[in-house]
Amino acid sequence: MTDDSIAERKMQFLFTLRTRGVTDKRTLAAMEKVDRGEFLRGLFAERAYEDMPLPIACGQTISQPSIVGLMTQALNVDPRHRVLEVGTGSGYQAAVLAQMARRVYTIDRHPKLVKDAEAIFDRMGLGNITTFAADGSHGLPDQAPFDRIIVTAAAEDPPGPLLAQLKIGGIMVLPVGQSDTVQSLIRVTRTETGYEYEELRSVRFVPLVEGMARDD
């Protein structure tokens, strides 16, 4: 692929993001820097700039770029923030956040996904990402509180341990819903007196599962 065709594909990618509601300049700049193809294997890497979810290892998926962009935009990350991501998956979302935050902590129940993502982060020189193979539904109490939390799997309700690990004034973005067909992306803001909830849009994510996976 020529440099011109790569540049054209990237321009089309950013145009698609804008038309689907990703308008925040810092989010767009971060997504322009991070090549989604780095996080996909084989034939799927050729489809990296299409706005669609694609399969990765362990029966999981890499989210479509517009959803990554909308979730990142909703977090309103700034360069001082410490961000927790629950659900490392391919590592793509964490790599985007790493362009914007001071430090990203990312956790996944699949050790293989964490190991694969670590190798990509090392290759890309992303030294501000810390990975954990653990049960994400419990968060990382030893590292809490966090300025921002993003969850890339759907729970029936926002998990209590994660809400408790959010700083006052902090924001969590996550999908909630009882099935894989009816889910809503919500933004939770922690206040001095409790939590404020805002519904953003309908989405479809894999379920948030408790416990560690066995990656045979």
DSSP string, 61-124: EEPPHHHHHHHHHHHT--TT-EEEEE--TTSHHHHHHHTTSSEEEEEES-HHHHHHHHHHHHHH
| 63 catalytic per annotation | yes
Give the closest residue to 212 by CA, choosing from 134, 117, 154. 134
| Type of residue found at 180 | D
Write down the residue that tokens 């804008």 correspond to: 18
Q: How far apart are CA 40 and CA 48, in angstroms?
A: 7
Among all residues, which ones are annotated catalytic? 63
